[in-house]
Structure 1
Amino acid sequence: MRRLLPVLLAALSITAVTGTASAAPAFTEYVALGDSAAAGPLIPDQDVLNLGCLRSSRNWPSVLAGRLGVATFRDVTCSAAVADDFEGSQTTFLGAVPPQFDALTPTTDLVSLTIGGNDIGLVGAALGCVNLLPEPVGFSCQRRLTAGGVDQLAVKIDAFGPEFAAVLDGIHARSPHAKIVVVGYGTYIRPGGCYPAQPLWGRDSDYLQASIARLNGVFAAAAEEHGATFVDIAPPSVGHDVCAPIAERWFEGLVPTTAAAPLHPNQRGMAGIGGYLADALSDSVS
């Protein structure tokens, strides 16, 4: 028994060490690409070295990077970005910023991507739907944008599909071993809206959210065809839309109630989206 005791103690020591050792991070070099839905305009604290991009250090890419424990994190998301700004420089109100693709390297092993809202003019379309008076005063944006049987937003969304696919191919070419996570747009407004709290008629609210769903569908299809993973944040953001109580909102309405841009995620939303993505990625690699 005395001879066995040191062996048993050694075995217990090894078990304790291996049992308490933390697992190595699944990703080590993370690059975030995208527009204001990822950048977080006006959310404290803004990146003072890149103020033209209106990028917050508390946006969801930063939340995700912290949760994943990556060693290297480069966030080049920039408000008002369009797909062309990945290969070409983007002009901001404080001057030009480098192409977002410049942040990618052959050793990058995780890339997040949110782009397309500006390409199709989503925010402009939403602003064009504002009606300060109830029906029938004013004019429905849904009626205007679908006049003649042609859905103008749908046409733009479908036309963006090949351009988005080219962005995915561009990421693969520069970072061939990276996992690409395509993050769509959320549930900004509930069915029927909440007029007059948000001055969008019910049918116009439904039209805008349906257009977002269509755009998310384009993302999902392109991701499947081009070796990426689509993460849909619409389901987890249900109940956190612009109609929700202020303390539960992930997205600001036309008149923000916290430090964030109108019709964009607020800090609570960034935390919720970042946490959801971290859990989704952890499940995918476990």
Structure 2
Amino acid sequence: MAKKSGGGGCLVVLLVLGLLGFGYYKWQHGSSSAPPDGADTGGGTGRYVALGDSYTSSPRTGRQAGTPAGCERSDDNYPHLVSAKLKPATFADVSCSGATTASLTAAQKTSNGTNPPQLDAVTTKTTLVTLGIGGNDVGFLQLASSCATTNSSGSPCKDRLTAGGRDQLAERIDAAAPKVGAILDRIHTKAPQAKVVVVGYPTVLPDGDGCWPSLPVGAGDVAYFREALGKLNKMLEDQADGHRAGYADTATPGKGHDVCSAAGTRWVEGVLPASPAAPLHPNARGEQGMADAVLALLKLP
């Protein structure tokens, strides 16, 4: 992650880094759906495995958990909170910042160490799997690198990404769908008795024009990304429904807790975090909200 520096350039750098695609959000109302029945997890029984990217690993919100350090996995992320409530016999959080669907089946090199293929943690004894993935497959960093603007009503990214009648964000979301579905099928093969829950991304952008210049993105691009990221969450929900998994909607409860909301209520930090978190990523409050969505789906308090 970039170090702080003075001036407007800091906002641009942090925006770009924060958009590393580690996960994203749902802008349209969705709904959670329970996973099919499987083996019980909790009260000293079962094995819970958490898979995912940085919206799961939760960089900088707590103390480092596990290795490698480059995964920036915090001990207060939603998997740890869910595990603390469930109390399974065994728990493995192998989420990692920067992960794509490819990181589920192949080793992922980080800036500080290599994370083994995340699916290696899923065994026949696994009884619960949560999966938060997809944003990095879409590649939001590459697509959004020029979004920062001095024009509060501008849309430089939308103009570039929809030029020629194509919508590059929509195309990449469509391309990621079968990859997510294939991962869900692999999980079921490795852990036939497990309940599987796909965890959606919380609301990051507000309705309306945004909050320029705190978030230096023009109103046109705010609307464009809000819609595109809603499509990403809808894709995840559809893949869960089509591959015997539940879906935890975290965007609906996250409404009003976006980057433009007050510091004491937001779930997702802005480009200059007011609470410990990576830019444009969930803070500890957001991870608790995500954990609550998963626990409600599992019919636990």
| Alignment TM-score, normalising by the size of structure 1 | 0.86
Q: CA deviation at 1:24?
A: 6.6
Tell whether the 8 Å contact from 1:40 to 1:55 is kept in structure 2 after alignment.
yes
**Cα distance in 1 for residues equivalent to 2:123 and 2:45:** 14
Once the 2 structures are TM-superposed, how far is the Cα of residue 92 of structure 1 from its aligned partner?
0.7
Runs of 4+ in 1 over 4 A off after TM superposition: none
1:207 aligns with 2:219: no
Q: 1:235 aligns with which of 223, 236, 252?
A: 252
Identical-pair percentage? 42
Cα distance change, pair 48–103 in 1 and its aligned pair in 2 (3 A): closer
Contact 1:27 1:68 in 2 (8 A): no
Relative to structure 1, is the Cα distance of residues 24 and 154 closer, same or farther in structure 2, using a 3 angstrom cutoff?
A: closer
The 3 A distance-change label for structure 1 pair 48 and 168 is closer
Q: Matched residues in 2 for 1:220 and 1:27: separation?
A: 28
2:82 and 2:295 in contact (8 A); partners too: yes
* Aligned match of 1:177: 193
Alpha-carbon contact 1:88-1:99 (below 8 Å) kept: yes
**C-alpha distance in 1 between matches for 2:141 and 2:267:** 17
Say yes or no: does 1:31 pair with 2:60.
Answer: no
SS at match of 2:276: coil
Specify every segment of 5 or more residues in structure 1 that has no aligned partner in the other structure, as ranges.
1-22
1:168 aligns with 2:152: no
In the aligned structure 2, how far is the partner of 1:259 from the partner of 1:166? 34
* Whole-angstrom distance in 2 between the partners of 1:262 and 1:46: 17
1:135 Cα deviation (Å)? 3.8
**What CA deviation, in whole Å up to 9, does each residue of 1:131-186 have, x standing for no partner?**
134346xx521121111111100000001111111000110111111111001111
Equivalent residue, structure 2, for 1:108: 126
The CA distance in 2 between the partners of 1:134 and 1:239, in whole Å, is 21
1:1-286 pair list within 5 angstroms: 25=43, 28-47=46-65, 49-135=67-153, 140-192=156-208, 193-282=210-299
The answer to whether the 8 A contact 1:117-1:123 is kept is no
Asked if structure 2 preserves the Cα contact closer than 8 Å seen for 1:252 and 1:265, the reply is: yes
Is 1:67–1:275's contact at 8 Å kept on the other side of the alignment?
A: no
Q: RMSD across aligned C-alpha pairs, in angstroms?
A: 1.9
Gaps in structure 2 of 5+ consecutive residues = 1-40
Higher helix share: 1
Three-state SS of the structure 1 residue aligned to 2:271 is coil
Q: Give the aligned residue type for 2:73.
A: R
Could you tell me how far apart the structure 2 residues matched to 1:27 and 1:229 are? 21
- Alignment TM-score, normalising by the size of structure 2: 0.82
The alpha-carbon distance between structure 1 residues 61 and 124, as it changes in their structure 2 partners (threshold 3 A), is: farther
Paired AA for residue 41 in structure 1: P
Secondary structure of 1:220 counterpart: helix
- 1:128 is displaced (CA, Å) by 2.9
- After superposition, the Cα gap between the structure-2 partners of 1:61 and 1:222, relative to the gap in structure 1 and judged at 3 Å, is same
SS of residue paired to 1:252:
coil
Q: In the TM superposition, what is the alpha-carbon distance from 1:124 to its structure 2 partner?
A: 4.3
- Indicate if the aligned counterparts of 1:116 and 1:160 stay in contact, CA closer than 8 A: yes
Q: Judging changes above 3 Å, is the alpha-carbon distance between structure 1 residues 24 and 59 closer, same or farther for their aligned structure 2 residues?
A: closer
Amino acid at match of 1:61: P
Between 71-80 and 89-98, report the one with greater CA deviation: 89-98
Higher relative contact order (CA 8 A, sep 6+): 2
Cα distance in 1 for residues equivalent to 2:55 and 2:250: 12
